[in-house]
Amino acid sequence: MGSSASTGTVLLFAFAMMLLLAARDGHCAQLCMDSTFPRTVNGSLSFCGYNGTACCNSTDDAAVQRQFAAMNISGTPCGDLVKSILCARCNPYAGELFTVATSPRTVPRLCNSTGVASRLSSKPPRADYCSLVWDTCKAVRIPGSPFQSPRGGAAAPTLTDVWQSVGDFCGALGGAPGDGAPCFDGEAAAFNASRVAPPLNGMCLERIGNGSYLNMAPHPDGSNHVFLSNQAGKVFLATVPEQGSGKTLQLDVTTPFLDITDEVHFDNEFGLLGLAFHPDFAKNGRFFVSYSCDKTQSASCSGRCACNSDVGCDPSKLGADNGAQPCQFQSVIAEYTANASSGSPSTATAANPTEVRRIMTLGLPFTTHHGGQILFSPADGYMYFMMGDGGSNGDPWNFAQNKKSLLGKIIRIDVNDIPSGNSTAGWGNYGIPKDNPFSVDNKFAPEVFAVGFKNPWRCSFDSGKPSNFYCADVGEALYEEVDLVIKGGNYGWRVFEGNSPYLPLSSPGGNTSAAAIVAIPPVMGYAHNSVNSNVGSASITGGYVYRSTVDPCLDGRYLYADLYAQSIWAGLESPEGSGEYNVTALPFACSKRSPIPCDPAARSPLPSLGYIFSFGEDNAGDVYLLTSKGVYRVVDPSECGYACPIKSSAAGRSPPPGASPSSAVTARRSAAAATTALLLAGSVLLALLSLTD
């Protein structure tokens, strides 16, 4: 054993070096192919799209664009992949991806894993990017191909001209699976190293509002304003108090931003279910609501029944459901605009009460399982609509697996490029994204993005990694699941419930065999018999990947809950990109500084939250629970006596009114990166200390 003084000096030096490296990134140092550090980009690169920091300037970007144009494969699936691969030289980790230490490569190291799509595997098939490139491009002739062997060969080779098999290709251009080296996954640098997560002792909440809401949407202007909507049909503009201020949510319930209660049918699983603001709301004032209507009560409630001859369903055979007529109730997506007569949409405090456009109307066969959430993807800008299987026990008409039906699906539509008249499917006014997975397959409804859902209740994009799209899907009798959704994925219902085969009680709509689909298993979830519910049932509520700096021990963990059981879980993907999640049951308590008392529960000292309807996230990345007893916010864990080895940076961190989206997002991501750096540096220090014991 060395002396304590010398050991301490070594540890301090090692810790300082780790902080320097980790401050640049939580995984490894950012470095370009010429061994320089990435530069700040003014705006974004017009072709490759990188912003913030990159290894390219506008001249480099233009050169990549010319190289790609000469290949003459633009607009093809292979072309999309090749463009991303060429642009990887602009990635802040290009030096790692292209291996500066030896000789520069013409393509980055492609992520290479087995990617087995099986019910026996917990890994989504998206993991094997190298095989995706091979399968998509192997027969495509690419002039000036970046994949060409250094030995030369054909002027416009296919991959099969150079390599004998996918094994040879990925052996040459992909990293060894699990070797820990950074690789390119089509969007960013991926790192296989397992993350050392800090201990998670509990989550601290404060109650900042008394109302009951289903949706929270951050104001698109990047400020500390949010929009809240209740199930009855009202949308409110609210101001979020700064963390630690001791103040409550500020909103006037007597003057809603929008009131469509006359249009909304509000009962049980009906109501105003979704709220989404256009990414360019600050300029165009466009926003959208998803709600239920009753055609016997509203003249504007009119649309095709989701049970029709196109999907092999006869409405006359549905039978009465709670006394309702088949398709008496409809799911509606409607467009509204902010009232910006006195200024820009960002300053509007009310919406124009008249609907601008009916985007979609879908007649419901039964009175349950309507999903209803709408979201805009931060990655592609399209609208996503989460639709349940339409109801009744066990999806008797097998809508979730019916290729022509929109029920039991996640739908992706374009509300920017709206064709004249109705869309091809006749459900409303919208365009079909050209890269929708089934847009050219006449066996499928072109709106479909992913299939096999029972009742997706609350989905979200990870603000730290927007390509990760999580959806919680309510189970039938055994299991509640969280799915990591990919384009074209099939998530199993009603062939499977969770990982278990499901046997329907009745099947007038036919069955789908397990052999006929490649069902992607859930990445997280819980069995019904594992929770204690106050109504003897279970129903999952999806949440968010936590990206706030307020509770560093929650950083990167996906939060979800049970509607009835007052149980909350946190799931952490480890290793990153593996599709494997470590899930922890998450105790929670109420801050003694809560602006509104948290209503002590019978399970003291935990607060009684009532029903956990939904989660919310604001522009600062703070996470909220929207419950039947009010609005709760996650705060510094020390306020509840929970220990976290990383200090919170909660004070003074809320974006100011009128902050630009870019400044709010940049601040949040910078803080999150710093948190990750501290976590990794701390982990190394702890490991070094353990060597001296």
Q: Label each residue of 466-532 as H, E or C.
A: EEEEEEEECCCCCEEEEEECCCCCECCCCCEECCEECCCCCCCCCCCCHHHCCECCCCEEEEHHHCC
Task: Output the CA–CA distances (angstroms, integers) from residue 616 to 43, 178, 206, 213, 659, in the order listed.
Answer: 29, 35, 14, 10, 19
pTM of the model: 0.72
pLDDT score of 123: 36
pLDDT score of 601: 54
pLDDT score of 650: 64
Give yes or no for a contact between 473 and 491, defined as CB atoms under 8 angstroms apart: yes
Amino acid at 411: I
What H or E segment, with its residue span, contains residue 666?
helix 661-691
Backbone angles phi and psi of 590, in degrees to 5: -105, 135
CA distance 592 to 381: 41
Task: Show the tokens assigned to 338.
Answer: 């902010």
pLDDT score of 175: 66
Task: Output the CA–CA distances (angstroms, integers) from residue 629 to 205, 216, 457, 487, 597, in the order listed.
Answer: 13, 15, 19, 37, 11
pLDDT score of 104: 60
Backbone angles phi and psi of 374, in degrees to 5: -125, 145
Instruction: Classify burial at 74, counting beta carbons within 10 Å of its beta carbon; exposed 0-12, middle 13-18, buried 19 or more.
Output: exposed
Spatial strand order in the sheet of 623-627: 588-590, 203-209, 630-635, 623-627, 612-617
Residues lower than pLDDT 50 in the chain:
1-28, 100-102, 114-126, 150, 422-424, 602-603, 652, 661-693
| 314: nearest Cα among 510, 445, 504, 446 | 510
**Radius of gyration over alpha carbons of the chain, in Å?**
26
CA distance 484 to 480: 14
Parallel, antiparallel or unpaired: strands 383-387 and 409-413: antiparallel
- How many other CB atoms are there within 10 angstroms of residue 378's CB atom? 13
